[in-house]
């Protein structure tokens, strides 16, 4: 089953639930040093739980930008597919496009778009609409 972000008026397709969970796992391990939500509470606590309230969307967008910037410092092989079982690998293993040069551009939606760009669009739309972002 696919995961999407939703604002009041728009939906933003992301991809498989395992793919999105991997994104959170990678943040947890690589950027939060195994301390869930300490550095990125709007993303790791609120979005992960299913929604970011309208008054927290700006904070989530700020955190998203930091995550992308910091992911740029990690090679693609730093991906964490499942923080609870770190031996698990993505279904495609290491067979990735040569265009993927870091974790910042590793995550691509099921319809071929950059995950960070899609998420940024959802948060920016939510800011314009003064509404929450929900995960479904």
Candidate from 30-44, 46-60, 92-106 with smallest mean pLDDT: 92-106
User: So what's the pLDDT on residue 1?
Assistant: 60
Residue 48 near residue 40 (C-beta atoms within 8 A):
no
Which of 98, 95, 97, 115 is closest to 22 using CA atoms? 115
pLDDT at position 94 is 85
CA atoms within 13 A on the CB side of 88: 14
pLDDT digits (tens, 9 = 90+) for 109-126: 999 999 999 999 999 999
Q: Spell out a b/e string for 76-102, using b for 16 or more CB atoms within 10 Å of the CB, else e.
A: beebbbebeeeeeebeeeeeeeeeeee
Q: Is the pTM of this model over 0.85?
A: yes
């Amino acid at each position: 089953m696919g995961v999407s972000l939703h604002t009041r008026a728009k939906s933003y397709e992301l991809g498989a639930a395992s793919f999105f969970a991997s994104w959170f796992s990678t943040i947890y391990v690589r950027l939060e040093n195994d301390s869930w939500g300490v550095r990125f509470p709007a993303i790791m606590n609120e979005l992960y739980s299913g929604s970011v309230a309208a008054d927290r969307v700006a904070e989530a967008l700020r955190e998203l930008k930091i995550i992308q910037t910091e992911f740029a410092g990690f090679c693609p092989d730093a991906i964490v597919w499942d923080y609870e079982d770190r031996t698990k690998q993505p279904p495609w293993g290491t067979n990735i496009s040569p265009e993927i040069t870091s974790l910042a551009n590793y995550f691509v939606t099921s319809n071929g778009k950059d995950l960070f760009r899609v998420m940024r669009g959802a948060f920016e739309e939510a800011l314009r609409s003064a509404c929450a972002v929900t995960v479904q």
